[in-house]
Amino acid sequence: EAGVAQSPRYKIIEKRQSVAFWCNPISGHATLYWYQQILGQGPKLLIQFQNNGVVDDSQLPKDRFSAERLKGVDSTLKIQPAKLEDSAVYLCASTQVRLNTGELFFGEGSRLTVL
């Protein structure tokens, strides 16, 4: 079974530029998450999708971050314009079953460096 796929693995941009990250979850997984992990910290939830609907985006900085999950499968996370503090690893995860008994499957992450 293929895992969660993310791209690109690495991206370096200058502040005020834009960047987009792509995620393909495990086939059949209805719930998809984007987490931000700053170096030395635990993952912080940015947005959660159930199929193609947003369940929770309370911690997404909506003035610069946007995300979509067209057709309830792939998802894209965009940052525009980027700030220095956006330097982090962006992790995509998916799950099939109810989370309190199930496992969250993570991709390898996309590492963003903002100069």
Interacting residues with other proteins (CB under 8 A): 4, 31, 33, 35, 40-45, 48, 50, 55-56, 91, 93, 95, 98-104, 106-109
Tokens of 39: 């170096």
- HEC letters along the chain: CCCCEEECCEEEECCCCCEEEEEECCCCCCEEEEEEECCCCCCEEEEEEECCEEEECCCCCCCCEEEECHHHCCEEEEECCCCHHHCEEEEEEEECCCCCCCCCEECCCEEEEEC
Question: Please, what is the minimum distance in Å from the beta carbon of residue 76 to other proteins?
Answer: 18
Question: Please, what is the minimum distance in Å from the beta carbon of residue 4 to other proteins?
Answer: 7
Question: Please, what is the minimum distance in Å from the beta carbon of residue 23 to other proteins?
Answer: 11
- Of 23 and 79, the one with the shorter C-beta distance to other proteins is 23
Strands 110-114 vs 10-13: parallel, antiparallel or unpaired: parallel
Question: Please, what is the minimum distance in Å from the beta carbon of residue 81 to other proteins?
Answer: 27
- Of 10 and 83, the one with the shorter C-beta distance to other proteins is 10
- Of 55 and 84, the one with the shorter C-beta distance to other proteins is 55
- Of 75 and 95, the one with the shorter C-beta distance to other proteins is 95
